[in-house]
């Protein structure tokens, strides 16, 4: 048709396409830019950067940021990246100074911002992130940041374990470990050493019997070692043994012994020494073990591989930077900011005076709720997803039931969180008698809230497992249970982890359901059991946001938001690590 009437090609206007492209670009950066602006202000408030003198900023820029960027550039070893970084860091200085002074002259002063801060957030932070990313692709950077990550992650893990032991009974854990987990683990180990002994299959019954024995003994045994010894025996030693076992397979007994024993000895010594400095010895022990063993394993592996060993100096470089910076600031007397988010903020209780106010009880409350929610929603969510994907028929009454459940789950995902709060209040707090505002009630309520998200993401992950794998397993004579256990779940695990942890991120920030179930706004001491009434970070932050003193609304609230974000980022990082690990298997 067109060929008959049309005699020449017409130029098609590209205007609409181009406009659409840029509108899409605008849409995609709109939220990010606004959120970034908010976070910049929150961090300025939380760390009191508005009162940081330019000399103070410059000192730490030179002692901390410049060496870090230098390390990254050395590791990336790419002229183009070096040039770009130099341009951004050098040019950004001029640009931000000029633009900011211009804006201030024309429009008026901008509250709590100065050009060094603009330079810091607009140029230095993104450039540093970019060089870290680039360095991580290469061996030296990978080693450096791998070590740094293990240090930070291990510390966070140690603190989290310490927090959980505030609530969960260490004595029961010791008994369960001694009589259940340890024999079971030994059975598995023996089974792998002598495959024909058949010990592996006996591990599960041994473990279950041990756990039952432990629960029974806990009721009758009146005397226990101190918590410190319990932590050495039932937390530190297994972690050290695990680290040693990882190394033993590849690098022989001497390396394995040193990887296991050195951090253990350091941790125990550190735990004793900590008491002398007024630090909590149990926490120090846990942190040194959880950080020390992975670090030792990592160093041992790096030294054996012999590649990028120079990267191991990164933590020392950063620590030295902080130290030198602090010395210079102290010596020259530069006015330093007084951050709201400091060690005392995360270790002390709420207070009526902003300077003394702390978030400790709420942090512990949130961590405990999230730990319970993680267990509950993982078990329930994965269970439902496996049933819906693997065990249901497409037709008959079973098929109809499946479709009904499916539709309901999809709809439940859209139910407002306040409604789940009401459900929790009626069902868990009142009917089942779990108590108003207790950790158990909160955890069950939040688990229900995120359950639809967990189920749907787990279903997607299971659905993504290729059918050929299942058929192959069936073809070899495996039952449906064996196929699910050995083929489908391991394959789907990364996706399930990702979905679950993203859902947990939503749970940790929820306030409305907690208000409904009667969680406290403020508590002054950390909960000591899962049945005690607790507060959570969002509840306390919300209460502070309404305090009359401006220091609460700007400083303390900002510090709380930063803490919440850091915990959230920590959780997401865990998700990524778990996903990568389980993908590697």
> Helices 66-76 and 125-136: crossing angle, nearest 10°?
30
Residue choice 74, 133, 190, 547 for contact with other proteins (CB under 8 A): 547
Residue 477 interacts with other proteins (CB under 8 A)?
A: no
> CA-to-CA distance for 173 and 336, rounded, in angstroms?
45
Minimum CB distance to other proteins smaller for 358 or for 424: 358
Site for other proteins in 556-585 (CB under 8 A): none
> CA-to-CA distance for 125 and 57, rounded, in angstroms?
13
Decide if 266 contacts 122 (C-beta within 8 A).
no
Q: Quick one: CA torsion of 505, 508, 510, 513, rounded to 10 degrees?
A: 120
Taking CB under 8 A as the binding criterion, the range among 91-99, 326-334, 470-478, 543-551 that sits at the site for other proteins is: 543-551
Residue choice 243, 437, 452, 494 for contact with other proteins (CB under 8 A): 437
Residue 211 interacts with other proteins (CB under 8 A)?
A: no
For the chain, the residue count is 585
Residue choice 81, 172, 317, 328 for contact with other proteins (CB under 8 A): 172
Backbone angles phi, psi at 121, to 5 degrees: -85, -35
Burial of 67 (0-12, 13-18, 19+ CB in 10 A): middle
Residue 548 interacts with other proteins (CB under 8 A)?
A: yes
- Provide, rounded to whole angstroms, the least separation between the CB of residue 531 and other proteins: 6
Residue choice 153, 183, 191, 280 for contact with other proteins (CB under 8 A): 280
Decide if 365 contacts 164 (C-beta within 8 A).
no
Residue 533 interacts with other proteins (CB under 8 A)?
A: yes
- Provide, rounded to whole angstroms, the least separation between the CB of residue 362 and other proteins: 11
Decide if 554 contacts 337 (C-beta within 8 A).
no
> CA-to-CA distance for 52 and 30, rounded, in angstroms?
30
Burial of 4 (0-12, 13-18, 19+ CB in 10 A): exposed
Residue 275 interacts with other proteins (CB under 8 A)?
A: yes
| CA distance readout (Å), 243 to 174, 180, 247, 259, 513 | 20, 21, 7, 7, 41
- Provide, rounded to whole angstroms, the least separation between the CB of residue 404 and other proteins: 34
Taking CB under 8 A as the binding criterion, the range among 48-56, 185-193, 254-262, 340-348 that sits at the site for other proteins is: 340-348
Taking CB under 8 A as the binding criterion, the range among 46-54, 99-107, 329-337, 341-349 that sits at the site for other proteins is: 341-349
Minimum CB distance to other proteins smaller for 103 or for 166: 166
> How many residues bind to other proteins according to rule CB under 8 A?
68
Site for other proteins in 347-386 (CB under 8 A): 347-353, 356-358, 360-361
Secondary structure of 541-559 in the HEC alphabet? HHHHCCCCCHHHHHHHHHH
Is the four-CA dihedral 257, 258, 260, 265 of positive or negative sign?
positive
Taking CB under 8 A as the binding criterion, the range among 273-281, 287-295, 297-305, 414-422 that sits at the site for other proteins is: 273-281
Burial of 109 (0-12, 13-18, 19+ CB in 10 A): exposed
Burial of 388 (0-12, 13-18, 19+ CB in 10 A): buried
Taking CB under 8 A as the binding criterion, the range among 244-252, 305-313, 344-352, 445-453 that sits at the site for other proteins is: 344-352
Q: Which among 286, 172, 183, 168 has a CA at the least distance from the CA of 224?
A: 172
Minimum CB distance to other proteins smaller for 104 or for 227: 227
Q: Cα Rg for the chain, rounded, in angstroms?
A: 28
Minimum CB distance to other proteins smaller for 16 or for 352: 352
- Provide, rounded to whole angstroms, the least separation between the CB of residue 208 and other proteins: 18
Residue 338 interacts with other proteins (CB under 8 A)?
A: no
The binding track of 508-527 with respect to other proteins, each residue x by CB under 8 A or -, is ----------xxxxxxxxx-
Q: Which residues contact 53 (CB under 8 A, 6 or more apart)?
A: 334, 335, 336
Residue choice 20, 528, 569, 581 for contact with other proteins (CB under 8 A): 528
Residue 344 interacts with other proteins (CB under 8 A)?
A: yes
Residue 133 interacts with other proteins (CB under 8 A)?
A: no
> CA-to-CA distance for 2 and 11, rounded, in angstroms?
15
Q: Whole-angstrom distance between the N-terminal and C-terminal Cα of the chain?
A: 59
Residue 274 interacts with other proteins (CB under 8 A)?
A: yes
Residue 427 interacts with other proteins (CB under 8 A)?
A: no
The binding track of 215-254 with respect to other proteins, each residue x by CB under 8 A or -, is ---xxxxxxxxxxxx-------------------------
Q: Which residues of this protein are in contact with other proteins, per CB under 8 A?
A: 168-169, 171-172, 218-229, 271-272, 274-275, 278-282, 344, 347-353, 356-358, 360-361, 433-438, 518-526, 528-529, 531-535, 543, 545-550, 553
């Amino acid at each position: 048709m067109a060929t008959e009437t049309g005699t020449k090609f017409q130029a098609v206007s590209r205007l609409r396409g181009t406009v659409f492209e840029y509108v899409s670009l605008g849409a995609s950066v709109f939220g990010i830019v606004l959120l970034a602006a908010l976070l910049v202000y929150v961090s300025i408030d939380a760390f009191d950067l508005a009162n940081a003198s330019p000399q103070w900023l410059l000192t730490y820029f030179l002692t901390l940021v410049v060496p870090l960027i230098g390390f990254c550039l050395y590791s990336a070893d790419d002229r183009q990246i070096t040039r770009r970084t130099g341009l951004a860091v050098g040019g950004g200085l001029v640009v931000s100074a000029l633009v900011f002074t211009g804006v201030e002259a024309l429009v008026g002063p901008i509250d709590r911002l100065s050009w060094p801060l603009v330079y810091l957030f607009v140029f230095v932070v993104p450039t540093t992130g970019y060089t870290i990313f680039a360095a991580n692709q290469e061996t030296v950077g990978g080693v450096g940041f791998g070590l740094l990550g293990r240090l930070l992650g291990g510390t966070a893990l140690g603190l989290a374990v310490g927090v959980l032991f505030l609530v969960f009974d260490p004595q029961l854990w010791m008994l369960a470990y001694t009589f259940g987990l340890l024999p079971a683990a030994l059975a598995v180990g023996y089974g792998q050493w002598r495959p024909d002994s058949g010990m592996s299959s006996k591990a599960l019954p041994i473990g279950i019997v041990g756990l039952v024995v432990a629960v029974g003994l806990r009721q009758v045994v009146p005397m226990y070692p101190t918590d410190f010894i319990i932590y050495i025996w039932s937390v530190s030693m297994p972690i050290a043994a695990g680290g040693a076992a990882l190394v033993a397979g590849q690098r022989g007994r001497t390396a394995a012994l040193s990887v296991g024993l050195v951090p253990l000895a350091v941790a125990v010594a550190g735990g004793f020494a900590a008491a002398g400095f007024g630090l909590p010895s149990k926490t120090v022990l846990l942190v040194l073990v959880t950080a020390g063993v992975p670090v030792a394993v990592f160093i041992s592996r790096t030294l054996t591989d012999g590649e990028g060993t120079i990267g191991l100096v990164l933590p020392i470089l950063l620590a030295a930077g902080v130290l030198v910076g602090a010395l210079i600031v102290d010596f020259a007397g530069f006015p330093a900011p007084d951050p709201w988010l400091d060690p005392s903020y995360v270790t002390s209780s709420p207070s009526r005076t902003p300077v003394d106010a702390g978030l400790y009880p709420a942090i512990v409350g949130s961590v405990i709720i999230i730990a319970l929610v993680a267990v509950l929603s993982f078990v329930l969510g994965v269970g439902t997803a496996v049933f819906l994907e693997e065990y249901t028929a497409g037709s008959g009454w079973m098929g109809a039931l499946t479709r009904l459940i499916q539709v309901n789950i999809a709809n439940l995902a859209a139910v407002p969180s306040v409604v789940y709060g009401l459900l929790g209040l009626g069902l868990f707090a009142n009917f089942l008698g779990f108590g108003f505002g207790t950790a158990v009630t909160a955890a069950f309520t939040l688990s229900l809230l995120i359950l639809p998200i967990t189920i749907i993401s787990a279903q997607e992950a299971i659905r993504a497992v290729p059918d050929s794998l299942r058929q192959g397993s069936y073809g070899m004579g495996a039952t449906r249970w064996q196929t699910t256990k050995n083929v489908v779940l391991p394959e789907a695990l990364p996706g399930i982890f990702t979905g679950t942890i993203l859902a947990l991120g939503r749970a940790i920030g929820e306030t409305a359901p907690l208000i409904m179930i009667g969680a406290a706004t403020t508590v002054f001491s950390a909960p000591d059991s899962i049945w005690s009434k607790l507060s959570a970070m969002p509840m306390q932050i919300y209460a502070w946001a309404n305090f009359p003193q401006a220091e609460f609304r700007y400083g303390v609230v900002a510090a709380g938001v930063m803490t919440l974000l850091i915990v959230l980022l920590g959780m997401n990082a865990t998700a990524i690590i778990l996903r990568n690990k389980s993908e590697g298997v």
